[in-house]
Amino acid sequence: MAIHPQTLGVSIDDASSAPAYQQIATQLRKEIERGGRAPGERLPAIRTLAVALGLHRDTVAVAYESLAEAGWVEARVGAGTFVRSTLASRTEASGRSRRASSGPGGSVSASEPESGSQPAAEREIGLALAPQVERLMTLENTRPRYATREDVVALHRLVPDPRFYPIDEFRECMDAALREEGPELFSYAAPEGDPELRRAMAERFRLFGIRHAPEEHVLCHGASQGISLALRLFTQPGDQVAVEVPTYANVLSALAGLGLTAAPVAMDRQGPDPDALDRLLAKPEVKAFYTIPSFHNPLGTTAPLERREQVLEIAQRHGVPIIEDGFEMDLRFRGPEVPPLAALDDTGIVVLLFSFSKSLFPGVRVGSLSARGRALEGLVTLKLATDLSDSLPLQAGLARFVESGAYDRHLARIRKVLRSRHRALDDALESSMPEGTVWTRPEGGYQRWVELPGEIDSHDLLPEAARAGVLYSPGTLFMPDARPSSAMRLTVSGADEDEIRRGVAALGEVIGVGGGARTAAGRRGGVHL
Amino acid sequence: MAIHPQTLGVSIDDASSAPAYQQIATQLRKEIERGGRAPGERLPAIRTLAVALGLHRDTVAVAYESLAEAGWVEARVGAGTFVRSTLASRTEASGRSRRASSGPGGSVSASEPESGSQPAAEREIGLALAPQVERLMTLENTRPRYATREDVVALHRLVPDPRFYPIDEFRECMDAALREEGPELFSYAAPEGDPELRRAMAERFRLFGIRHAPEEHVLCHGASQGISLALRLFTQPGDQVAVEVPTYANVLSALAGLGLTAAPVAMDRQGPDPDALDRLLAKPEVKAFYTIPSFHNPLGTTAPLERREQVLEIAQRHGVPIIEDGFEMDLRFRGPEVPPLAALDDTGIVVLLFSFSKSLFPGVRVGSLSARGRALEGLVTLKLATDLSDSLPLQAGLARFVESGAYDRHLARIRKVLRSRHRALDDALESSMPEGTVWTRPEGGYQRWVELPGEIDSHDLLPEAARAGVLYSPGTLFMPDARPSSAMRLTVSGADEDEIRRGVAALGEVIGVGGGARTAAGRRGGVHL
């Protein structure tokens, strides 16, 4: 499994005066010219080549981009980078790209287009996309694509188990809302969303010590839109945003899409390192700090009260806003509640994100942003300018669902499932993982972090694990600089107790057999967290 | 009604070496200091003061911003700019702003908070918001707020009449989708949205000559989100986007929120002026052209085939993408269909926006972006990074609604209503408006453009019209530079035939009585289409 740069057809001459990216581009171009890489052939994945050559993946990405600009290759969403058919047919090639073979089989991407019979754009013009969109597409291309075998144990997925969706109860609530509130729900809503749901949420939030009024909660289209809005509230392209290492993978996409850069803050089991955070927030180019204090994603850890107070004090002292992601706030299954930063803050510096996607189901697409003062006003204005408002029928149905007590009943059930599945995962890890493996023990949420012993890059084990019938998220996905990681994120959302035991047993075998030998070439740095 | 600068307490000394904004800021500051403007008092609206002084409103906005930065005044969303209570309590004041009186009564804003009993942020920190958010908030503050009297005739609103929403039929479709497709609809969707609805839309789009495959339509959260995504696809902050003069008001907000500038293209009754467009798209800083060829908003005009071909040729020649807004595409009530730019284009340079908000109801929050090649890939990636996906329950319900024929039946009904209401509006304008008034005669959609004779600024007539029982949208709203306009947009979406007659009669009286005298001070330029 060790990657030999030679087999990838590229090598770096350290003695050469040409920059590495140019060396890569030149070698690939020559190979394409002499027919050594056929039209339609896929280039090595950026990440693979970077690891093989001991380079940062940006270096390889720049090489590929320069080849693409010159018309030699083209990137395809969810598929990779491919050799173009001929230079002469440049405009045509990009027009046909979506109908071409999507490369090596066995993996699919959610965003991969169906093959269709659409007529070609006859003489396609190569449009210039925004640079941040190009970067985003490059980033998305590096994301692993997972096999879709039915019998694979999905320990990688952070999607609540559809077996527990309270569809019928929810449908009744929505139906009642539509019947009773009628046409009004089908007009434009205020950008802040359904007042009834905001009232219900304000009341529930008091359980966490959050005293925001109903009008200080702005509903949005899932926490994912909330992240985009909160980032746009405080930043403009070129700015930096402090994020934890590791952090939620999609926040890295959101940063790329907005032309922002991640400023990394080291984590320990208690949360972000206070000294590192203090140094970082002192920099004027750092405009906000994105943090997940409870049931961290991917770590699964929860910051204790003392660390929260430290973090808050630092941000307040520097006047840097905190974007607190409470996406699993409602999913504590053991231990006492720790107040969110938004409950501890009395200065209005915290914007709190909440979501029903993990505690209920994602399809309702309802999240919220809680804020005060100018930040609140800015969010409302931004939401209005972004998409006017969300859909009231779902929000009004959800309001009834929460008010009827159905949501709390559902939570009680889900927490029990979580407790039992995490116990199964603990037992399975204990009995199946090699000596030296360590993992976190969450008090809530679906995910936890498992660190393998030695110099393994968990990303390299993924194809073999998939063949063995188990999927996980490699640690590198959660690294702002995409560095290799010996860790992986496991979740209990998509697998029951039996499946967990089966999946972890398979994982243990894959690691036990080949783990020691799988030291990736070009590794910089060791094991993180 | 003529505005006297003196009564606003500010005047400009042309002989002074101080810039105008500084003169304004200094005079207001002195007045506040000596108690001439009490804490809580509202400053004149930016637009009003700009018109009165014959200045661009940006000049006044800069003056207000400098006062706000110094802590003398504060802006409140949807309310205006207010004198702060004391400088000493600066941090406190901004914390309490949302609970303070929202200024002169009689008008409300959709985004105005309810009064509540939330505890204050005890020691609020003045967070720095992104500059483009600040600009957006300033822009929103200049939008007129409409009275909410029940008996007022709403000729300003572009919201389909709730009396015609086919709620029951739609509810049945959604219910069937939820029952039959079950939990899958409540998980995360692909960023492109429900495949069934995309198939149904691709089929309907063939009626317009649009041959895009189902996978070339990306569903989004209303055309409003579509506009944001399309703009982000091609631009970064600081770029320019060509827009028609006049154009859709919310696209101006979207531009401001993204840090973009509008590059104006003059319009005639056939569409954008080809020569002006050619000159503008030659500029490298202009990254896209936003246009509404059918049932233009606010004009109500439809570009003929020949002009469309010209526009397309110009954009293709310069390689500048076109964002074609087809938000009312389905609402033609007379005349033969004219193919959208997206149907004429064979180069992939057009991104087409569509929406169900006007043809069905806004609450479904479903729009689409049709694109090809790299633009399509970029849109999917951007949608994923922005909010993962939309809500499937509504999309799946809508797919059934379209496939069952219910949507086409609904359209037939709405087109009949539109035809009849527009006829009533024509008759009413004919009999009630003063000599010299001219208006457009739409072939589809809800809106049309009415130009008053003489040097009237239609914005100045609005308060009196509201008192007389009728509302309209003043032309200045649709001007990228917010210049005064003698025109107004009237819509037939919120008023039936009787109401239209009553509203236009009231309007005619307001204009007839005072129109001639209402020449605003400081007008630059004449009447703009």
B350 touches chain A (CB under 8 A): no
List pLDDT tens digits, range A326-354: 999 999 999 999 999 999 999 999 999 99
Residue B108 forms contact with A (CB below 8 Å): no
pLDDT tens profile A429-454: 999 999 999 999 999 999 999 999 98
CB contact under 8 A, B385 and A256: yes
What residues of chain A, 383 to 402, have a C-beta less than 8 Å from chain B? 384-394
The shortest C-alpha distance from A197 to chain B (Å) reads 14
Which residue is it, tokens 């936890």? Answer: A448
Chain A residues within an 8 Å CB radius of B384: 111, 140, 253
- Do the Cβ atoms of B224 and A363 come within 8 Å? no
The whole-angstrom separation of Cα A507 and Cα A515 is 11
Q: How far is B499 from chain A (nearest CA, A)?
A: 20
Query: Measured between beta carbons, which residues in chain B are less than 8 angstroms from residue A254?
Result: 385-386
Of B118, B185, B382, the CB nearest to A133: B382
C-alpha distance from A257 to closest chain B C-alpha (Å): 7
Tell me if A193 sits within 8 A of A354, measured CB to CB: no
A192 touching chain B per CB within 8 A: yes
Which chain A residues are within 8 Å of B387, Cβ to Cβ?
Answer: 221-222, 224-225, 228, 365
Task: Judge: A385–B253 Cβ closer than 8 Å, yes or no.
Answer: yes
The residue type of B506 is A
User: What was the ipTM of the complex prediction?
Assistant: 0.73
Rounded-to-integer distance, Cα B240 and Cα B280, Å: 10
Q: How far is the alpha carbon of B26 from chain A, nearest alpha carbon, in Å?
A: 25
Query: From CA B202, how far away is CA B213, in angstroms rounded?
Result: 6
Q: Which of residues 320-349 of A touch B (CB under 8 A)?
A: 321, 345-349
Distance of alpha carbon A227 from alpha carbon B384, whole angstroms: 12
Please, which residues have CB within 8 angstroms of residue B254's CB and are 6 or more apart in sequence?
Answer: A385, A386, B224, B227, B228, B231
Of A76, A125, A215, Cβ closest to residue B349:
A125
**H or E element in which residue A106 lies:** none
Is residue B286 within 8 Å of B466, Cβ to Cβ? Answer: no
**In chain A, whose CA is at the least distance from the CA of B193?**
A111
Residue A180: count other Cβ atoms within 10 Å of its Cβ: 10
Residue keyed to tokens 């969010």? A379
Does A228 reach chain B within 8 Å, measured CB to CB? yes
Say whether A330 sits in a helix, a strand or coil: helix
Q: Cβ separation of A364 and B391 shorter than 8 Å?
A: yes
| Nearest chain A Cα distance for residue B517, angstroms | 36
Cα–Cα distance for residue pair B79/B59, rounded to 1 Å: 20
Closest Cα in chain A to B136: A381
Please answer yes or no on whether A362 and B257 come within 8 Å at the CB atom: no
Note whether A353 and A226 are within 8 A (CB): yes
The identity of residue B222, as a single letter, is G
Helices (H), B282-405: 305-318, 341-344, 373-387, 392-403
Q: Which B residues in the span 46-75 are in contact with A, Cβ-Cβ below 8 Å? A: none
CB contact A224 to B (< 8 Å): yes
Compute the nearest-CA separation of B133 from chain A (Å): 6
A209 touches B at CB < 8 Å = no
To probe the interface with B, which of A377, A379, A410 has the most B CB atoms within 10 Å? A377
Residue B92 is predicted with a pLDDT of: 30
Query: Taking CB atoms and an 8 Å cutoff, what residues of chain B touch A130?
Result: 232-236, 287, 378
pLDDT tens digits for chain A (529 residues)? 333 444 477 888 777 777 787 788 888 888 887 777 777 777 887 777 877 787 777 778 878 887 887 778 877 655 678 787 643 333 333 332 222 222 222 233 333 333 333 344 567 777 899 998 998 888 887 776 665 567 899 999 999 999 999 999 999 999 899 889 888 899 888 899 999 999 999 999 999 999 999 999 999 998 899 999 999 999 999 999 999 999 999 999 999 999 999 999 999 999 999 999 999 999 999 999 999 999 999 999 999 999 999 999 999 999 999 999 999 999 999 999 999 999 999 999 999 999 999 999 998 899 999 999 999 999 999 999 888 888 899 999 999 999 999 999 999 999 999 999 999 999 999 999 999 999 999 999 999 999 999 888 999 999 899 989 999 999 999 999 999 999 999 999 999 999 999 999 999 999 886 544 333 333 322 233 3
Contact B233 A123 (CB under 8 A): no
Non-local (6+) Cβ contacts of B10 within 8 A are: B24, B27, B28, B44, B49, B53
The list of chain B residues with pLDDT below 50 reads 1-7, 86-120, 515-529
Give the Cα separation of A193 and A395 in Å (integer): 8
| Partner-chain contact A114 B215, CB within 8 Å | yes
To the nearest 5 percent, what fractions of chain A are helix, strand and coil?
Answer: 45, 15, 40
